Amino acid sequence: MEKFSLYDLLGLLLPGVLFLHFLGILNNLFVKANIDFPDTGLDLGIYICFSLILGAILYSASFYLTQFSFYRKMLYKPTGTIFMDNHRLRNQLDKKMNEISLAWFGKNLFLPQGDESESDKEELDLLCKLREDFYDRMYYTLELSKNNEHPKTFQSFYFFFRQLVLACFILLLLSVVLYGLSCLNAQSLSKPDWGSLTAFASLIILILITSIILARWYRKRMVEKMYWFFYIYINQVNNKINE
């Protein structure tokens, strides 16, 4: 069986572990029933299973949220847009990428900035879609040839911080709901110490802001690395053919 990868660790397990840990803190604040870290093999196995389940839920939900514009603007800038905005990268890679896009899709996808601004909205939307398709095909080409390990590391960190952003939003929402219920003495909830609740909320907000910044940075680096590795891979393949 293939070993547990960094991608799985950062994309699924660790976000679930952190989310479960902070749920335990919320439980202690409002219910006063301590949830300690497991100290037996069976308990640890159950803890890991729950962490994986929660991590998988965060992973799937974060992909679902990409259909909403506010989420896309915050964390899911299109890969094609990231490439088009990087003029230093484009100056070196545009020619080769257009050769590939012409072979794959029958048209140049990476137009000069002036030419793109003159295109109508329908044409621009089509170009954006095809650039995303280009990235997907590029990604799986590198995956098949096992040449994307380094870019995939950046992708793994991006997923980690993206999942943390969603987890923080959920935790803040739960804090508000539980505090409201505790004020109404609902479900036998204890009203937490205001200082402890403020400290918890401040920590979550700090993690949220930091995770948004880091997720954006890692997504940009992920795209840059993916294009560079594909560029190098294509040149290597062409050199072998010409030998």
pLDDT at 83: 92
CB 56 within 8 A of CB 17: no
pLDDT at 72: 85
The predicted model gives 34-49 an average pLDDT of 67
Whether the predicted pLDDT of 38 surpasses 60: no
Question: For residue 160, what are its two tokens?
Answer: 């980690």
In residues, how long is the chain? 243
What lies within 8 Å, CB to CB, of 135 at 6+ separation is 79, 80, 83, 223, 226
> Which segments of 17-71 are extended strands (E)?
none
pLDDT at 34: 55
pLDDT at 184: 76
Using CA atoms, how far apart are residues 10 and 131, in angstroms rounded to an integer?
27
The predicted model gives 38-44 an average pLDDT of 61
CB 211 within 8 A of CB 168: yes
The predicted model gives 195-208 an average pLDDT of 93
pTM: 0.87
Using CA atoms, how far apart are residues 151 and 223, in angstroms rounded to an integer?
8
Whether the predicted pLDDT of 1 surpasses 50: no
Whether the predicted pLDDT of 228 surpasses 60: yes
Whether the predicted pLDDT of 35 surpasses 60: no
Whether the predicted pLDDT of 4 surpasses 70: no
Whether the predicted pLDDT of 117 surpasses 70: no
Whether the predicted pLDDT of 102 surpasses 90: yes
pLDDT tens, residue by residue, 83-92? 999 988 998 9
CA atoms within 13 A on the CB side of 26: 21
Residue 191's H or E segment, with its range, is none
Between the alpha carbon of residue 177 and those of residues 41, 121, 151, 171, the distances in Å are 34, 43, 40, 10
Nearest to 109 by CA among 92, 96, 91: 96
